[in-house]
Structure 1
Amino acid sequence: MPRKQGSPVAACLNLFKSNALGRLFTVNPRHGVLYLRLLLVNVTGPLSFQDIRKVNGQQYPTYKDACLALGLLEDDNQWECMLAEAALNCTAIQIRLLFAIVLTTCFPARAQILWENHKDSMTDDILHQHRIRCHDLTITFSDEMYNEALIAIEDLCIVIANLPLSNFGMNSPNRTASDLMNTEMNRELQYSTVEMAAIVARNVPLMNEEQRTIYDRIMLAVSAGQGGFFFFDAPGGTGKTFVISLILAEIRSNNGIALAVASSGIAATLLDGGRTAHSVFKLPLNIQNNPDAVCNIKKQSSMATVLKRCKLIIWDECTMAHKHSLEALNRTLKDIKNSDKLFGGTLLVLSGDFRQTLPVIPRSTYADEINACLKSSPLWRNVEKLQLKINMRVQMLQDPSAETFSKQLLDIGDGKVAIDETGYVKLPTDFCTIADSQDTLIEQIFPDVHTQYINHEWLAERAILAAKNVDVDNLNLKIQMLLPGNLVSYKSIDTVCDDSEAVNFPTEFLNSLDLPGMPPHNLQLKVGSPIILLRNLNPPRLCNGTRLVIQKLMKNVIEARILNGKFRGENILIPRIPIIPTDVPIQFKRLQFPIRLAFAMTINKSQGQTMSVCGLDLRTPCFSHGQLYVACSRVGKPSSLFVLAKDGLTKNIVHAIALRD
């Protein structure tokens, strides 16, 4: 039968050619031929049905065994291989954290067996400490040492998922019930009162008058103990983080509890003890669709005890939060504290800048964004506004161009820059350096990257920002190719959550889905590449938005070093974890490392981060409120900002209603 699709073949009537030899039909996952189909999709150029079962020179007896060897199927044995691999290369502390992450995110079926097989590598440092303490190198592993390691793992599981080891099919360590219940409390009371007092004594005198007024107002509310609701309005460079850090230190110096949360992972890493609001308050993932939501915090839990005793909650970068999040927190605190007062009588300080981006609502309109904004919540009428206006970054630089730059930034954020008849604004000539091509922009931000990439401080202080994920992905792959070394590919295992839908959504279709907030199916990496974490694995160390640099690429685990925040310089292990998207009609699961490359990142993902050098790829203009302001305000002077935009023209979306008091 002649082809009906493709391009015509010369001199052959009704004959068409294409690059497809045939079609692979979908099969039911219960059918044994599924494994052959997976191999045909993923193996390049097999010579025979026998040859297709050969992996790295080893012949496998069945198609399923070959699929397992290629990592095309989920199997509990992958956790065995991962822990064995980690034991050869990493420390016991790293392996315990890795095991805790696997328990809390992957729920392995044989968790107790995994522990029994690898408990020595997870207890090695404890054995070493005992030998040094007793001056006896002949001491061997004991049940007490294993129990100590299990307690450390359980503490991590409670921090990550608020669940003890017994919830993961493991034997509970020997510890008191009160010790288990007090994990959250111990975390918030771990700060040295002496160190906190020293921070306060050293830095409070450095405040300007504006900062001191706000500091005193909030501390007065803390002392009164009657609660309160404040919004701390502070553009970039005015010292917001400085003031917040001192307020936290003052409360902690008196052994009080002060919670620091942020709407973005990057912002959370800048605060001592900071975590994302979603991880601390256990907010529902689909909060935008749930106007009556409450936080997933049980009234008798250790987190509830912390909230009862908490003197202050500071929520940074609050402008990114959906109003339903604030309302859910209000309901939860009222319930936990048995109080009808606003937020149950807890003092809440929101901080941020409404010139920045508003909550991200998929496929939203202007009205949807405004309706989701905190200012649209009925709670907002109770807020007391505090404001910083003096740009301390400008004063410290003592650079006239930085002062002009600061004023130009505010004009962009306030929507005061003139818009032409096409809806574009022209960036001032003294505001930034205009790049004439993508290659030029890359060279300006990452000069000599093939040699400089080993300098992690250099790498941490720069990035290219773009409005859309597709532009970010293209930039990342292009810059990574400039690094020396071999490219390592990690392919995800994608499966539908409902087996009955497997015939409708074949594996290669799921593989083709590249969704925001999820790792790609084919993750290509090099040692030395910066990456960004896409999930909260161990807050505050490992938050959604934490930037890291790859140290080692192993088959089943990746070792990376934290680039930013309080924990920069620490090496951690990242496993594959299952990720289920919440905003697509197809319910499917992707088992992949929860990371993406981070030479470039989206503007929204960069919010809260300060850089020394920043590039903007604005060939695709900004499309939502505050994006241009956020992108440009990552740096403090015009010589640090490089923009790729034809003739310096771009869009500046500002919703004036979001800026009104």
Structure 2
Amino acid sequence: MQSPDSTNELFHLAAGYVNHTGSDIFLTGKAGTGKTTFLRFIRNHSFKKSVVVAPTGVAAINAGGMTIHSFFQLPFGSFVPEKRFSSDGNANLVDRHTLLGNIRFNAERRELIKELELLIIDEVSMLRADLLDAMDEVLRSVRRKYSVPFGGVQVLYIGDLFQLPPVVKQNEWRYLSEFYESPFFFHARVLKESQPVYLELKKIYRQSEGKFISILNNIRNNIATQDDLDELHKKYNPDFEPHASENFITLTTHNSKADEINSTRLRNLEGTQYVFKGKIENEFNENALPVEKDLTLKVGAQIMFIKNDSGETRRYYNGKLATVKKIIPANANGEGEKILVAFPNEKDELELKKDKWENVRYSFNREKDSVDENVLGTYTQYPVRLAWAVTIHKSQGLTFEKAIIDAGDSFAAGQVYVALSRLTGIEGLVLYSRISPQAISTDERVVEFAGSEMSETILKQKLFAEQKLFACESMMRFFDWKKLSETFHDFQDELLHRSIPDKEAAAIFSQQMIEKVSEQEKVAAKFSEQMDLILNGNSSPDFSFLHQRTAAASAFFMNAMEEIISSIKNHADKMKVKKRVKTYLTSLSDLLYACERKKIQLTQATKYSEALMKGIDEESFRVLNEEQKNVLIQVEEFRESKSAKPKKGDSNKMSLQLFREGKSVQEIAKIRELAASTVESHLAAFILTGEIDVHEILSPQKVITILKAIEETEGAGSSAVRNALGENYSYSDIRAVQNYRRRMHRS
């Protein structure tokens, strides 16, 4: 992707807050300031384990994430934070008990949520306060951090509250209003515990006219003057009929009006009408298609791009208008299809190329310690739509050079600002209806929330302090043994319900591990108290002493981790020779992973303390965090030793290994759930190779007796030898001596 504007200090300041602090951030900005660019930048450049969610299907697809309801398994309806109401039947209400009781996360989703570090919510202006509280409840519950907002996950809110407000039905607001001051996300209860840093991007890339920018700012901030309205009304011209070559687009308040204008203008064009069908592959919600599945075009049609050009030439952007100049339909083989378009005031035509949108789901990658995006399905279509008209609602985020605003008397809250701010300048504006002073009233609660914005100077000072705090909190987290302890306790709980051989030995192992981890947890808790005292005991922490203590503690716990890792591997070696232990071995690998991860955290803690001692700066943070992002956690996959039927000879070797560990034939048979005669047969094979001496299995007298019987029945076979010896001698005994005799003859 393109590098962000190096001169946009607020952009980089916001990135610093996201990447180098644990603070929640509300990233906003007027239309055209680069909020979408910021989202993409964070997705590609943050070391934190993050997911992107949005309130609607289309918003989620455009942001490259999931819907809030899908990710959190939220029911459709309203969330009441205290108790369930007996509604009138028209309001669908859910309380905390019902919400958490109906969640059915699988193990993978639970692990992902527990590992999550950064939650990005796009188009937050459409998010209702009650849904944000529901998300908070789910995160606290799954992460088992009930007293921490969002369960300790950092939240990045992105959106412009001065655009269209969240939608809530009147019958549901009747109940929600008892808990919430407004439907806006910033009145969620959780934000009383965790107010985000308000950070507004200032540099406007869409408008360049100072006077027009000033009018938009005044409308946005509820301080529009009569002079502002008079200036806008100079563009009032209800009889204006643009020529096709002028490339005007009409912004209306209703879908039906926009559809009527587009269909009429298309029908009035001469020539052949072509339909280009979009292609859905695998899972993709048809209600969340970013462009029509059946795109109908003619030569001369006015179209609009609905996403930015990702190629090197960057010839179009989201909202740029063009005219279809030539259409070549596909041949009988479905090949040769071509659409050429031209842009206003540009000489060269552009051949349209189909684009692809992805429906993603997230999963946690243990080896890379990162969140992976898994593509469930795709939608392929030309990234354009007919554009003689579009609704004001759908125009959010788009940019036009020329637009007719046809809203009549039905301007809803926020629509005046949204409609006007689509334009690059006032010269391209035409009003079909006048704007009354009442129509430009911005919600006072939005204006009040915007008042929490700090100056750029204070934001920079706060960032430096938050960076140090983040480093200290990270170190405290690295010495938190709670998650490791939970992993071993979960392992023990699962063992109670497992049916595995030698379960008693597994239970003893599990208890021993828990005792060791619990002892470490106590020591780690005491060290955390010391660390907290060093960091918060006075206004000037002794970072040199902190580094000394951290390095010593890390070394101590590293040795403790190595002991546990060694115990896990030894136990796995004993268990993997048994049957029906595949799932159990996978659980042992999970324990190993948890320990290796803790070792990495201990190493990171020492690096953080050293950076604090030397005087931490943003570059130090960047390097440290990039190191953390690129660490691979590789553990032995115990499951692989039993993933398939043992190869010929492997089973014999397993018996030999146990024999070398001092196990008797009967003990080996019990461990491996085999007949004793089978184990004896395994061991007899190694007498021929010289890996076992026959006298390790049989007494010298038995060997002499069997040798004599073999010689007396030369060539008669094992049955004749056994008949000569009697029932006190087994076929395995005879086979062992036969192999001994063959080996002696070879030598």
Q: Which has the higher contact order (CA 8 A, sep 6+)?
A: 1
Structure with max Cα Rg: 2
With the shorter chain as reference, the TM-score category is 0.3 to 0.5
